[in-house]
Structure 1
Amino acid sequence: MKLTKEERKELTYQIGDIIEQKCRRCYYNRTSNECFSINECKACPTGEELRRLGMYLDTQPKKNGGRRMEKSSGLTPEVVRKLNIQGIPDQDIGIMYDLSPSYVGKKKKQWKRAGIWKGPTDMR
C-alpha cells in the first residue's frame, strides 16, 4: 500500500502522539533511562500497535540497498601499465578517464588481491 506524502506525515504524527500519550510513563518502558525503546515493548499492546503502524512506513524499497554496480570505465590493468610506463601517474590516469584521482590506485590494489596486477601499486 503506497501512501501519499500527506498520509505518511499524518501517520508519523499519529505514531508520535501514541508514544507521547501512552509510552512515556509505561510500565514496560520503566527500565530504560528516560529514552523510549520500541524493543522493550514486545509484550505491550501499544507496542504492537506501533509496529503495525510502522509497517505502513516501510513499504518503499531502499534506494541505497545492495552492492553498488561498478560502471565500466574501459580501465584495464594493461592500459594502466602502459600509461605508467609512459610516466603518467595514477591520479592523472583517473582524471583522463573521468574518474576520481584515487580510483586508479584503489583498482590496482583490488587487481593485486585478485592476482591480476603485478608490480608496484603506488605510482605518484
Structure 2
Amino acid sequence: HLYWLTSQATYKLRVAMEDWQGRQVFAEYDSFQVEPESDWYRLRLGSYQGNAGDSLSWHNNKAFTTLDRDKDAYTGNCAHYQKGGWWYHMCAHSNLNGVWYRGGHYRSRYQDGVYWAEFHGGSYSLKK
C-alpha cells in the first residue's frame, strides 16, 4: 500500500525518534516514494535535513528485503541477521523494523535492534 499512497502525490518523510534518556531528534526527507512490487518496493528519497543525522540516504534506491525475498547486496540475507524487513544495502545504517530492546544499549551477535546509526549507533535500540 505504500506504493499506492506515495504515487498519489509528492510526500515528505519525517522520522521522529526518542532515546531512553528522553532526547528527541528527527530526520526529514523532502521527498519520499516507494516503487511498485515489480521494482521490489524500491525506496526513493530526496534531500535530508534534521538533527538525527542521515542514516537513511544510504538505503536510497534499494529494494525492500524480507526473509523470503533477499534483494540486498550482502552475500547473506540482511533481514535474517537484522530481524526484519528493510531497504537493506550491505545491511544497514538504520533499521526501524528491528527488535525493540528495552533500555537502549543491547548485546546481540548482530545489530538487530531498532536503530538509527547516526543517533547512538547500531547497538542502541531506540525507545520511540
| TM tier relative to shorter chain | under 0.3
More strand by share: 2
TM-score by length of 1: 0.19
Q: Which has the larger radius of gyration?
A: 1
Larger relative contact order (CA 8 Å, sep ≥ 6): 2
